[in-house]
Amino acid sequence: QVQLVESGGGLVQAGGSLRLSCAASGRTLSNLAMGWFRQAPGKEREFISRINWYGRTYYADSVKGRFTISRDNAKNTVYLQMNSLKPEDTAVYYCATLTGQNEPSYWGQGTQVTVSS
């Protein structure tokens, strides 16, 4: 029904910035809430941020003030701007559609972000 493809990951130095993109196909995202999650090796998948259909946002404490979630409904794309990156931000980053209860439903394949010291 919905296909999500993340892009924009890579290797950056601590203190640097990166912008991730999540492009959707199969249906419009305009009336869907979207979220970003990450998973580091050996750790549980962690919620990062979400944005609802009209633009209200929420952030986990670990990224608040450094990351910004946004959406461009005309391009059917959700973004995650990551600033002041730290080595502990190293993980595979996933986007997902969210239900009305903010539970993930459809997932992308993930994109690797590596932050070096």
pLDDT band at residue 27 under the 50/70/90 scheme: confident
Average pLDDT of the chain is: 95
CA 74 to chain CA centroid, nearest Å: 18
Give yes or no for a contact between 113 and 10, defined as CB atoms under 8 angstroms apart. Answer: yes
- Per the CB < 8 A criterion, the answer to whether 61 and 46 are in contact is no
Question: What is residue 28's predicted lDDT score, i.e. its pLDDT?
Answer: 83
Q: What is the pLDDT of residues 78-97, one digit of tens each?
A: 999 999 999 999 999 999 99
Q: What is the pLDDT of residue 31?
A: 86
Determine which helix (DSSP H) or strand (DSSP E) holds 71, and give its type and residue range: strand 67-72
Structure tokens at 35: 């979220």
Residue 113 has a pLDDT of 98
Q: Rounded to an integer, what distance in angstroms lies between the CA atom of residue 59 and that of residue 94? A: 15
CB count in 10 Å sphere of residue 96: 23
